[in-house]
Amino acid sequence: MIHFYHVTKRFDAYSTALHDVTFHIEKGEFVFLTGPSGAGKSTLLKLILRQMRPTEGQIVVNGRNLNAMKRSHLPYFRREIGMVFQDFKLIERMTIFENLSFILTAIGLSAKEHKKKAYGALRAVNLQHKINYYPLQLSGGEQQRVAIARALINDPLMLIADEPTGNLDPDLAQEVLEIFSDANLRGSTVLLATHDRDLIQRSHRRVIALDHGRIVDEKPATAEKPAARGESMFVNWS
Ligand SMILES: Nc1ncnc2c1ncn2[C@@H]1O[C@H](COP(=O)(O)OP(=O)(O)O)[C@@H](O)[C@H]1O
Ligand SMILES: [Mg+2]
């Protein structure tokens, strides 16, 4: 699903953010990308989304060679990807519902379908009762969960998250992780960048570790699976 072949990203003569990086993530995997600040995590994610291009090497995402992809195809390519960033940007003058349905307007669904999808996505993050609130009426953690709901609303093939738990306390971080796990169970391939070692250690997932732009460690998922949870808290909103 995500393939990097000898990818180097150089910003200038003094700054090589990624250095000869090769890895493969298959459909349905849940992978942590970790490493200290400045290791190259955000750069790697931006390359996957083709927000930037590699200096050297090839990237294939969802069967597409990103070096060869035409600019006009980018919106279609990105539609299959849910993205979550640390500085989630909700639009303050819009309600939570409007923030979510805004994403759906491009796809041309009926108003009724908007409501159903938005409600389903909010239920998944346990915020359905806040559907008519404005972002500033929610706590930071709740706003982040709305941003995740927004990323999940189209049941993306792939979820790419950059430090999605960065501003959250450990309990909330765990909760957010479970939301991603649920999305993964429902079929989304997940790549989650974080420098939170505790979060990673508790979850027994595959880990790719970067340092100074190089892969320094790769750990497969360990046999011990995360504790089985009861029925998924996701409703089927398809
Ligand atoms: N647009 C840019 N221009 C120049 N250097 C950059 C740019 N973006 C990132 N870098 C550099 O690339 C390196 C990796 O950055 P980044 O990918 O943001 O790391 P991380 O997300 O792991 O903290 C850093 O040294 C950073 O300063
Ligand atoms: Mg970063």
How do residues 184-217 score in pLDDT, each as one tens digit?
Answer: 999 999 999 998 888 888 888 999 999 999 999 8
Report the range of poorest mean pLDDT among 10-19, 98-107, 149-158: 98-107
Instruction: Pick the atom of ligand 1 nearest to 40's CA.
Output: 17
Residues 6+ apart with CB under 8 A from 219: 206, 207, 209
Predicted confidence band of residue 106 (pLDDT cuts 50, 70, 90): low
Residue of higher predicted confidence among 10 and 152: 10
Place of tokens 């996505």: 121
Candidate of 10, 42, 85 to mutate for ligand 1, largest count of ligand atoms within 8 Å of Cβ: 42
What domains lie within the chain, and their CATH numbers? 25-49+70-219 (3.40.50.300)
- Among 167, 203, 220, 218, residue whose Cα is nearest residue 35: 218
**Torsion angles phi and psi, residue 65, rounded to 5:** -80, 110
Question: In one letter, which amino acid is 61?
Answer: V
Q: Measured between alpha carbons, how far is residue 199 from residues 81, 160, 189 in Å?
A: 23, 17, 18
| Interval 45-50 mean pLDDT | 96
Question: In one letter, which amino acid is 181?
Answer: S
- Please name the residue whose Cα sits nearest to atom 12 of ligand 1: 17
What per-residue string of b and e applies to 88-111 under the rule 16 or more CB within 10 Å gives b? bebeeeebbbbbbbebbeeeeeee
Predicted TM-score (pTM) of the model is 0.86
Task: Say how far apart CA 32 and CA 161 lie, in whole Å.
Answer: 10
Place of tokens 């998250």: 161
| Interval 85-93 mean pLDDT | 84
